[in-house]
Amino acid sequence: MVVRRLPPLRALEAFMRVVRLGSARAAADELALSPSALSRRITNLEEFVGKKLFTRAHQAMKLTDEGRHFYDAVQPKLEELALAIEGQSENLSLLRLHLGVLPLFGSQRLFPRLAELRRMHPRLHIDIDTGAHLEDRVGDTLDAAIILSRGPKSGLHAVRLDENKVHAISNVEVAKSLGDTPDRAILEKQTFLIHNELPESFTAWKEELGMRDLEPAAIDQFDSGQLMLEAAAQGLGIAIMHDDHRRRAADPRLTDLFDFEVDSPYSYWFVCKPMALEQRPVRLFHDWLVKAGL
């Protein structure tokens, strides 16, 4: 049996962290190394593989094309190695992720797919938090979150999960009474249901109608998309929300009003602190989420 020569593992770890964190300084801090010590480890790896993996200028390190090819080839193998060791060890504890999730995303998109993640990574368990201000709590009480936002705050690693259309959603009977063509006089007599954290959806919808100054009889505020759908299904008002939610609900009581689409100002995002990607529970969930295309 031929034993292949392995690269210096500490050098390989330094390389992977620089790529994942996007910063040599952040990688050095994470590894408790000086910038020069980190650079030496990268140099050792480059000498081992015989390739220039980074360009260096003004204390910044940028992947070369060969460095990118090296990362793409090695990263999946390292993940396989970690999984193999995890599967053979009886001493590893559970991997636990503290995840913030909006309830409607959780019930419609996340939970129906979590069983496949559990089959892939049986030691990974997820604590779900549906509380308020998810984005603000990332890096504190939450490891990561799935939020609905115009765009995450700077300083967060963010992956956009979709792009949405805004629709007016109502009970089927209400839709029949309103007709197929928007009528200002009729719409001004209606109650609209708006999520209190997504007010610009209603603004975008009115602008598409050419009725930016439309003033309905009432606007009822909600902090739950699930309850907005139920209220609309019960005929309590017209819900302004993403069309995707009505489709996934598959509720025969609900329908879209009128025949037009509006680009939503908001999208679903996965967010975490950049350094959190070095934590195995966060990395496993992140990679699965992106690949699954939820």
> How do residues 98-123 score in pLDDT, each as one tens digit?
999 999 999 999 999 999 999 988 88
The structural domains of the chain, ordered by start, are 9-88 (1.10.10.10), 95-162+268-292 (3.40.190.10), 165-265 (3.40.190.10)
Residue 278: pLDDT above 60?
yes
Q: Tokens for 14, please give them.
A: 């330094």
* Tens digit of each residue's pLDDT (9 = 90 or more) over 237-265: 999 999 888 889 999 999 999 888 899 99
Question: Which among 93, 121, 126 is positioned nearest to 110, based on CA atoms?
Answer: 126
Q: Cα dihedral sign for 43, 45, 51, 53?
A: negative
* Tens digit of each residue's pLDDT (9 = 90 or more) over 135-155: 989 988 899 999 999 988 888
Residue 91: pLDDT above 60?
no
pLDDT at position 85 is 65
For the chain, the residue count is: 294
- Rounded mean pLDDT of the chain? 88
Q: What one-letter code names the amino acid at 239?
A: A
Mean pLDDT of 55-80: 82
Choice between 82 and 291, residue whose per-residue pLDDT is larger: 291
Q: Cα dihedral sign for 251, 254, 258, 260?
A: negative
Q: Tokens for 5, please give them.
A: 């020569």
Mean pLDDT of 162-172: 92
Q: What one-letter code names the amino acid at 78?
A: L
Pairing state of beta strands 157-160 and 267-272? antiparallel
Give the highest mean pLDDT range of 12-16, 189-193, 222-226: 189-193
Q: Which range (10-19, 116-125, 174-183) has the least confidence?
A: 10-19
Residue 214: pLDDT above 80?
yes
Contact, 277 vs 157, CB < 8 A? yes
Residue 277: pLDDT above 90?
no
pLDDT at position 23 is 78
Integer CA distances (angstroms), 223 to 117, 148, 227, 249, 268, in order: 29, 12, 8, 18, 16
Percent above pLDDT 90 for the chain: 48
pLDDT at position 82 is 67
Residue 80: pLDDT above 90?
no
Calpha distance 76→9 (Å, rounded):
16
Mean pLDDT of 176-192: 93
Mean pLDDT of 147-169: 90
* Residue 284 main-chain phi, psi, to 5 deg: -60, -45
Calpha distance 150→153 (Å, rounded):
10
